[in-house]
Each structure stands twice: as structure tokens, then as C-alpha cells.
Structure 1
Amino acid sequence: MLNSEFISHESSLDLTGSESSRLRTAVRPESLFITCTDSIMDQVIERIQRVPSILVLRSPGSEPPLETDGDDSSSSVIDHVLNQHSVRDIFVCGHSMCSSASVEDRQTAHPKLSGVDRMLQKIQHRQEMNERSREQVIQQMEKLARPPSVSRAISRGDLRVHGLFYLTESGTFTTYDELNSQFVLSSSP
């Protein structure tokens, strides 16, 4: 059923002539936004994808590919935007409560813990997860800058790599300040 619906919808698309040409010239990304596949980021991505100059790449834990990872789709996207488009900024965006940054859950059942102690334990666990997620963003920025094509573009001043951290609880972004080695409150990307 779904397959036949897709085929009938696909055949109703008329992307020939001027419409096809307009679409090819209209999609010129200036920024690449790499973020997590966690569903918690869906609403953020939905807003970002409304901006035609931003291309979104989603991978588990916002993980950019290594050059040695081979010819996978993520490597191809990064290579393509660097070589075929005028992408000047790459944003690596992590988020609070990221499933890929889960810290081993230390919340084993302790019947002797009071409700307050259990609550404090949960808060500490959440803080540890978020700190690990922030560390992952920094590591991923460094990893992204390693391939020769990316490092050359950065050294020429043609490309900037930015770190973002989305606080899902408040809906705000923090930006990685390399000079001070910390995330600071920012406006939306």
C-alpha cells in the first residue's frame, strides 16, 4: 500500500524544464548542520530545514565521518558541500540528554535512599550525561577538521567549524567558545 502511494505521488511530480532548473539553482547551501539522530532534535531540524541555505546531516551522536571511514554517505555529503557549494560554516550540534552520550546508570535500587537522595542522584546523572555530550561536540569538531580537504579550507579561511549544544529543557543553544574552552549562551543558529 505505502509503496503504491509513493509511486503514484512520485509520478505526479513534474520536475522538468524550468521547475527542475529553478530547484537546481535554488539549493545552494552555505552552511552544513551536523546533528544527532535522536528524535528529540526533530523539532529543531524542522525549523532549520526551512532555511534553504542550510543543509542538515544527521548521524548518531552528531558523529562526523573520518576520512578513513570510506565512501559512506556522510563523507560524501561533506566532500560534496566543500567541493561543489559555497559552504563556509559547519555546525556540529549536540544536545542535552543525548542517548549516545549515556553515562552508565548508577541509579541502582537502594531502598535505603530517601526520595531527596534519589532525586539528587538523577540530577547528577543528567549533569554527567550533558557534560559528556558537550565533550563529544568538541571531539567531533576536532575530528571533522582532520581530513585534508577540511583542514585546507579552514587554514585558507574558507571554512569555519562551530560547536553548538542544544538545551532541550529550555530550548536554547550554547555555542562553543574556543578561546575560553567553554560553551556560552547564544541565540539560535
Structure 2
Amino acid sequence: MSKFAAGVVKFQKEIYPKNVDLFGMLSKGQKPEALFITCSDSRIELGMLTQTLPGDLFVVRNAGNIVPPHSNSTGATTAAIEFAVGALKVPHIVICGHTDCGAAKGAMDLDKLDNLPHVRDWLGYMRAAVDIVGAIGQDLNEHDRMVMLLEQNIRLQLNHLKTHPTVAVAIAKGELQLHGWVYDIGAGEVLALNAETDAFEPVSELYADEVGEYLKETTAHAHG
């Protein structure tokens, strides 16, 4: 704990004083730009990956970046989605998987998880993705099969997401956009699902227009 305690002390002495106005604003409420659903894996650091500040993202993390299909049983992920869309009115939801995902590996062989019954049951929400890989990925090597699973899982969880009433309504009203990403930890690359082609493309290419416009606005603001 010494490392974490030292980090808090550094935050209080060095970071907070430089951002008093930001934290003062955040103390009055939040208006995040997106709900970000990603894996609990300790290697996923969203502030670093997306270069965002506190208040920008409403975050849900769990093993395998899973979204259970909507049901009448209340769960933490379901409640968080409902709050983010129904109360906070986020305009975007991103589901982000990652390479070397332990949850994805576990989903490929659930029989080995008998000593982790809750994990085994949770990863059952990835079953359709696993079955797709088993059906059409038999001729692929282990690496490519895992890549296929990560991408199929993103597609599956996006479909699950659309079963949530608040999400379905917001999409129907044109107030919400869904995004599927896969983060390659070793390469620093992020691939995003192109809804028109159903293929994964580099974020830098798929969002090129949006990125260009954002950079123009931030540059203009900096010189304003």
C-alpha cells in the first residue's frame, strides 16, 4: 500500500493544486461525454489511453468487458448502463476489449474454471462469440483465433447492449451512438468496428474526420 499512499500524497501536493478549478467544477456534478465499458484488467489505463480528464468518462469495468442481455434481475453493469444513458444522457457508449485477455482465454475453456464458479458463469455471456469462433475459425492458428474471439465478443456485447430499454430508446431517438474497440496492449493500436463494413479499422482512420475537426477546434481555442 505504500506505493498507493505515496501516490495520494503526490496528488494532494502537486496535481490537485494545479487543477483546483477543474475539481471545483467536478464537485458540483458530472456530465461525461461517454460511457466506457471495458475489462477489469489492470493493464487498461483509460486516462492514458484516451487522454481524458476526470469527468470525461463514466466507466464500467468487469471481466471480459461483458454486457449481459437485459433482464429483470438487477446487476451492477445493467444499473450503470441505465444510469449513464437514462440519467446522465451520455451520447456515446464504447465497449473496449483488449489483447491477451484472460477472460477471453477462460471463455474458450470453461471446464477449467470449476474452482471459479462465478467467473465461469459470468463468462457464459461470451458463449455465442466462442461458438462462432469454433464454427468458422477451426483452420486459424491460436493467435488468429483469439483475435477473432475478441472481435466477435465486441459484436456480441454490442448486440446485448441494444436489448437494454434505455439504450434502445436513445438510439431510436438519435441521441446515442455505440462503438466497439479492441486495444492491442503491446502495439498501442486501437481498432474500431466500422458499422457499415462490419470490419475493424484503426481508430486513426475510422475517426479521421472527427479527430481532424477536434484538433482544429482545440488549436483555435488555444490561440483564442
Change in CA separation of 1:126 and 1:152 when aligned onto 2, cut-off 3 Å: same
2:191/2:200 contact within 8 Å kept: yes
Which has more helix, going by share of residues? 2
Structure 2 distance, partners of 1:60, 1:54, is 19
TM-superposed CA distance for 1:22, in Å, is: 4.0
Question: Which residue matches 1:94?
Answer: 97
How do 1:14-93 residues align onto structure 2 when only pairs under 5 Å count? Answer: 22-41=25-44, 43-44=45-46, 47-48=49-50, 50-68=53-71, 70-93=73-96
TM-superposed CA distance for 1:164, in Å, is: 0.5
2:68/2:157 contact within 8 Å kept: no
- The one of 122, 125, 128 equivalent to 2:145 is 128
1:95/1:130 contact within 8 Å kept: no
Structure 1 distance, partners of 2:100, 2:72, is 27
Please state if 1:142 is matched with 2:159: yes
Cα deviation 1:129-157 (Å, max 9, x = unaligned)? 12101100010011001122211110110
Calculate the aligned-residue CA RMSD, in Å: 3.0
Question: Which residue matches 1:159?
Answer: 176
Question: Which residue matches 1:113?
Answer: none
Structure 2 distance, partners of 1:130, 1:183, is 11
Moved more, 51-60 or 165-174: 51-60
- The one of 182, 196, 213 equivalent to 1:179 is 196
Partner-residue secondary structure (3-state), 1:137:
helix
2:60 partner amino acid: L
TM-score, scaled to structure 2: 0.61
Structure 1 distance, partners of 2:143, 2:47, is 23
Structure 2 distance, partners of 1:152, 1:88, is 12
Which of the two has higher C-alpha Rg?
1
1:45/1:56 contact within 8 Å kept: no
2:42 partner amino acid: S
Change in CA separation of 1:78 and 1:175 when aligned onto 2, cut-off 3 Å: same
Identity of aligned residues (%): 25
Change in CA separation of 1:24 and 1:99 when aligned onto 2, cut-off 3 Å: same
Question: Which residue matches 2:186?
Answer: 169
Structure 1 distance, partners of 2:178, 2:35, is 10
1:178 partner amino acid: A
Question: Which residue matches 2:13?
Answer: none
Structure 1 distance, partners of 2:27, 2:86, is 16
Cα deviation 1:68-111 (Å, max 9, x = unaligned)? 1622221111111112213000000011121121145xxxxxxx
1:29/1:54 contact within 8 Å kept: yes
1:31 partner amino acid: A
Structure 1 distance, partners of 2:66, 2:80, is 13
Structure 2 distance, partners of 1:69, 1:152, is 17
Change in CA separation of 1:126 and 1:88 when aligned onto 2, cut-off 3 Å: same
